[in-house]
Chain A
Amino acid sequence: MGNLIKIAFRNLSRQRRRTLLTVAIICVGVVAVLLFSAFSGAFKNMMIGQITDSMLGHLQIHKNGYVSSLDNLPLNKVISTKQMVKIGKILKDIPQVEAYSKRILMGGMLSNYMETTNIKVAGINPDDEAVVTPLLTSRIKNGKMLEKGTILLPELVTKGMGLKTGQDIVLVVNNADGSVNGQNLKISGIIESVVGPTGKYGYIHIDDAKTILRMTEPQYSEIAVRLKSIGSLEKVFVTISNKISDLKNKENKPVFEAHTWEKLSPFYNIAQMIDLMALFINVLLIAIVLISILNVMIMAVYERVKEIGTLAAIGTLPGKIRTMFLLEGLFLGFFGSLVGSIIGVIVIIAVKFGHFTIAFGRNENILLDPSIPFKQMLFITAIATFAAVIASLQPAIKASRMDPIESLRH
């Protein structure tokens, strides 16, 4: 084997320029894959982080049917105080749950006594909400966090109506029984809008929400849950779904439903598309490796017909001739992807420590944090090397099956 490796190496160095070119092609392919994976991964994670941390939370619990009629924010599909106690207990018992926030959602009219506009408002407990959606506070551009008697308004609304922090507005909403109620509130701050369905909500204190909706005891529209780590999302989602499905109504049907952020945000599709693109780039890499190696190995076999004949004539077994060519392909693939991995990692590290930022949605200066798991790097190297061996297979087998007499006459 050692001798076969030596011969394979020598043969590669015999065609130095061609070898370097092939290694370079594979190298470029691997760099492209690594960078794409790292940056698309970074972008995806950032995007998910933005969505979950600024409004959605990691998962949410609603009364059955609420999500499908989310546009209406129905006040009759709500979680009662008694039910909330049960759900609260379930959530407290799950160690991966970091916190949860109860919300009362409503649609209403916002007026500055001159102009009126539609608005959707979430009644929240500011302390709970700050833990569940930690980016909410950072979205406040002008002013401060919510207190009782105040309202946080999205930038899109304030701009359109020329509203400023500190100004008074009146919020008018329909109650569950159909009657209308209004309340004066002071604008405590203006928040940046976020791309997504709930990105243009206003926020009021949950106590004000109870008052304005004339609730005798609080009824909640949704519970947003934050996990200690988003990595455990699937597992915790299953646990929560199972546990809340034990809470049944008189007809013995489950009353609550849970959804992960993926089901609640259209960005999940974009995240999936990014994954699909990463897969596509991987396929492209494999194709590049296959084609370039196949090309080089066919040439190598063709150039060395006579030498192959000599080796076969003096008694080299076909298997060894095959191995010799396979090793050549393997080395091309391996060194190409090794150098590619090294370059890729250097670029990723440079970007990481260069603190490059990008703009996403309304948020500018989001730090890009590309990273590539070592396992994935190994995987890409292995895939490229494997593809190289596969591509060498046909030429190598062809070489090993050559008739020595024919080859010697070449």
Chain B
Amino acid sequence: METVVDLKHVSKTYKVGEVDVPALKDITVDIKKGTFVSFIGPSGSGKTTLLNLIGALDTPSGGFLTITGSDPAKLKNKERAKFRGENIGFIFQDFNLISVLTVYENIEYPLLMVKETPSNKRKEIVESLLKKVDMFDHKDKYPSQLSGGQKQRIAVARALTTSPRIVLADEPTANLDHDTAYMVIDLMKKMRDESGVTFIFSTHDTKIVGEVDVIHTLEDGAIQKSEEVTHG
């Protein structure tokens, strides 16, 4: 199977004043196309740092990292923004919907501002995604009128509008109650099944892993173990 994310001996060290804070140490991981992957680890274990690297939001301090065949460290800021827009969908812990845009407009936003798409095509994509995340009836509402679970469903749809290669979700369920969290993980799984997009998410809650294919456990910036889950 094709590798979409490839990390070789990747490290990341933050400098806080004179002190070096090692957030990631010698991470070697490869993630195959279309898999549903989770990084589990306690607070401060480096999940966000790792997802920021995979999401081309940040660059490693050491080692090699390729995402869909490109090395984001070689790109300038503006090119990295373009790269993210074309290849990566983001789901955030706090949902981060644009508050002044309606549900429909939030999903449409990347098609207008990031990956310019003709209007008839836009409508088609947005409406089909709205149906898939079961939010079509709420399309004219504003984010403030939605529950947390509903917001995150919209965020899942938004992450998929531009047909990215990878969708990254940093603790997408941390602000949701248990049932809603499961629902969101299930939705991501379902979207993965339908689209074949690689889904990578992080969580500190070992109970909310759901039906993932691969679980990487992080501790103190290093991968403790990696296990493939075989679904019966």
B74-107 vs A, Cβ < 8 Å mask (1 yes, 0 no): 0001100111111011101010101111000000
| Contact across chains for A315 and B86 when beta carbons are under 8 A apart | yes
Residue among B88, B94, B100, B158 with the highest chain A CB neighbour number at 10 A: B100
Instruction: Confirm or deny: A74 has a beta carbon within 8 angstroms of a beta carbon on chain B.
Output: no
| Contact across chains for A315 and B96 when beta carbons are under 8 A apart | no
A14-B99, A404-B57 are known contacts. Are A315 and B82 too (CB-CB below 8 A)?
A: yes
Partner of A315, one of B52, B85, B92, B100: B85
| Contact across chains for B85 and A316 when beta carbons are under 8 A apart | yes
Across-interface contacts of A4 in B (CB, < 8 A) = 113
| Contact across chains for B100 and A11 when beta carbons are under 8 A apart | yes
| Contact across chains for B96 and A408 when beta carbons are under 8 A apart | yes
Instruction: Confirm or deny: A307 has a beta carbon within 8 angstroms of a beta carbon on chain B.
Output: yes
26 A-B pairs with C-beta separation under 8 A: A3-B109, A3-B112, A4-B113, A7-B100, A10-B100, A13-B100, A14-B99, A306-B96, A310-B96, A310-B98, A311-B113, A312-B81, A313-B55, A313-B57, A314-B158, A314-B159, A315-B82, A315-B83, A315-B84, A315-B88, A315-B162, A316-B81, A316-B85, A317-B81, A317-B85, A408-B96
Distance between B214 CB and nearest chain A CB, rounded to angstroms:
24
Give the interface of B toward A (CB within 8 A): 52, 55, 57-58, 77-78, 81-86, 88-90, 92, 94, 96, 98-101, 109-110, 112-115, 158-159, 162
Bound CA span A405–B51, Å: 11
Instruction: Confirm or deny: A144 has a beta carbon within 8 angstroms of a beta carbon on chain B.
Output: no
Across-interface contacts of B84 in A (CB, < 8 A) = 313-315
A310-328 vs B, Cβ < 8 Å mask (1 yes, 0 no): 1111111110100000000
A7-B101, A10-B101, A11-B100 are known contacts. Are A315 and B114 too (CB-CB below 8 A)?
A: yes
Across-interface contacts of B86 in A (CB, < 8 A) = 315
Across-interface contacts of B83 in A (CB, < 8 A) = 315
| Contact across chains for B98 and A311 when beta carbons are under 8 A apart | yes
Across-interface contacts of B99 in A (CB, < 8 A) = 14, 307
Across-interface contacts of A309 in B (CB, < 8 A) = 96
Distance between A13 CB and nearest chain B CB, rounded to angstroms:
8
Bound CA span A17–B65, Å: 48
A 220-269 contacts with B by CB, 8 A: none
Across-interface contacts of A313 in B (CB, < 8 A) = 55, 57, 84, 90
Bound CA span A116–B10, Å: 111
Across-interface contacts of B100 in A (CB, < 8 A) = 7, 10-11, 13-14
Bound CA span A408–B110, Å: 18
| Contact across chains for A315 and B112 when beta carbons are under 8 A apart | no
Nearest to A318 among chain B residues (CB) is B78
Distance between B89 CB and nearest chain A CB, rounded to angstroms:
8
Distance between B85 CB and nearest chain A CB, rounded to angstroms:
2
Bound CA span A219–B176, Å: 105
Across-interface contacts of A3 in B (CB, < 8 A) = 109, 112-113
Distance between B93 CB and nearest chain A CB, rounded to angstroms:
9
A10-B101, A310-B96 are known contacts. Are A318 and B77 too (CB-CB below 8 A)?
A: yes
Q: What are the nearest 7 A-B pairs in CB distance?
A: A315-B85, A10-B100, A310-B96, A315-B114, A315-B84, A3-B112, A316-B113
Nearest to A8 among chain B residues (CB) is B100
A 1-35 contacts with B by CB, 8 A: 3-4, 7, 10-11, 13-14
Across-interface contacts of A315 in B (CB, < 8 A) = 81-86, 88, 110, 114-115, 162
Nearest to B113 among chain A residues (CB) is A316
Bound CA span A10–B100, Å: 6
| Contact across chains for B101 and A314 when beta carbons are under 8 A apart | no
| Contact across chains for A314 and B114 when beta carbons are under 8 A apart | yes
Across-interface contacts of B81 in A (CB, < 8 A) = 312, 315-318
Known: A314-B89, A318-B78. 17 other contacts (CB 8 A): A3-B109, A3-B112, A4-B113, A309-B96, A310-B90, A310-B96, A312-B81, A314-B85, A315-B82, A315-B84, A315-B115, A316-B85, A316-B114, A320-B113, A405-B52, A405-B57, A408-B96
